[in-house]
Structure 1
Amino acid sequence: MQTYITDNTSKSDTVVAFNAHTIVDKSLATGQVLVFSNPLFNIGEAYDSGAGIFTAPVSGIYFFSAHFCLYNTRHWYYAFMKENDVVVVKDLKYVGETSVCETASAVVLLLQNERLWIECRSGSTDDQFLSASKQRSSFSGALLHRVNGYP
């Protein structure tokens, strides 16, 4: 991997970055993709705000972050998914009297046209997510470094 990065340090001028908020469906079924419908920006147009899926325009090392604000007494499981592989699994459980926000992140190698999304791993019919001016869930990602010729 180091050889691929070092050999391509002067060739990485592609800019890919997005930040989206506003979860469309706040009561998710198991296996459902979280759709963040309101992109603040989407440089490179790699994030599909209608489907909630990021598609890598180039092979590279990407950074993803998700920020979730949940109502009190909710519990929820989710995963960052890369095609059919779980990239990061995070467990959120709240039994307290106040709402809480939490952030998860992942650094991921994606090949060109590979996809990444956030998936609900344990569904609920209850509204899970707060949406207020001071507590807002979001999903963001950026290309850290392009990787050319990686198998």
Structure 2
Amino acid sequence: MCKRIKMHKFAIALLLLLPNTPETAGNCVTERTSKWNTFRDDYLSAIQTCFTLGFVKEQRGNTLTEKETIAFEASLNSSLSSIKSGERVIFSTLDENNGNGYDASSGIFTVPGSGVYVFVWSVVSTEYRFSTTALIVNGKQRAVHECNSTKAKNDSCTRTTVVTLAVGDKVWIECVKDNSSIDDYKSSSFAGFRL
């Protein structure tokens, strides 16, 4: 149906070019106007149906663009201890990577499409330890996260932040305090997605 919209536009042009001959004058003009109104309503209904069914994602002027889904989720494959400040935390077990932006070997997410992104990372500190990490965007701290279990035996912490990014920007999680520790690797993860 959506492919027929161009044919409908062609038909509209033909209706408008019909001459006002005696055969189309008088009552015929009223009939043609009525048919035009019906056709216009059907055409608008077809366009709305295409949008509703998701055949057309976004329309700007005469160009149509499709917004690709970008999302990733990765987790640690082992516990980490005595992490130094400035050391990148590499979440190397990749569970999802739509858009192929996340590199599990380096722990770096390279933005494949510009937009507003949501990032979430969780870490677990046990045995009276702590971990202080930050979301780094192009080498600069964006959001800091501290998980402190020095007064308890187990502490699970999650941080969420929203960032506007351009293609090629690089995002990762980095330790920002010496001797940080992430003990329960099965519950520690890093995820992000474009809104």
TM-score after normalising by structure 2: 0.62
Higher RCO (CA < 8 A, seq sep 6+): 1
Question: Which of these residues, 70, 76, 88, is aligned with residue 16 of structure 1?
Answer: 70
Determine helix, strand or coil for the equivalent of 1:36: coil
Q: Distance in 1 between matches of 2:149 and 2:184?
A: 13
1:23-102 matches, within 5 Å, as: 23=77, 26-27=80-81, 28-102=83-157
User: Structure 2: how far apart are the matches of 1:23 and 1:63?
Assistant: 23
Q: Structure 2: state its 5+ residue gaps.
A: 1-56, 59-64
Structure with the bigger percentage of strand: 1
Q: Percent identity?
A: 27
Q: What are the superposed Cα offsets for residues 67-98 of structure 1, whole Å, 9 maximum, x if unpaired?
A: 11111311222110001221101222222342
Secondary structure of the 2:182 match is coil
Aligned residue for 1:129? 183
CA 1:109–1:54: 2 relative to 1, 3 Å? same
Between structure 1 and structure 2, the one with the greater Rg is: 2
CA RMSD of aligned residues (A): 1.8
What is residue 141 of structure 1 aligned with on the other side? 192
More helix by share: 2
- Give the 3 Å change call, closer, same or farther, for CA 26–121 of structure 1 in structure 2: same
Q: Which runs of 5+ in 1 are unaligned?
A: 1-8, 145-151
Q: Is the 8 A contact 2:80 2:181 kept in 1?
A: yes
Mapped contact 2:79–2:185 kept (Cα < 8 A): no
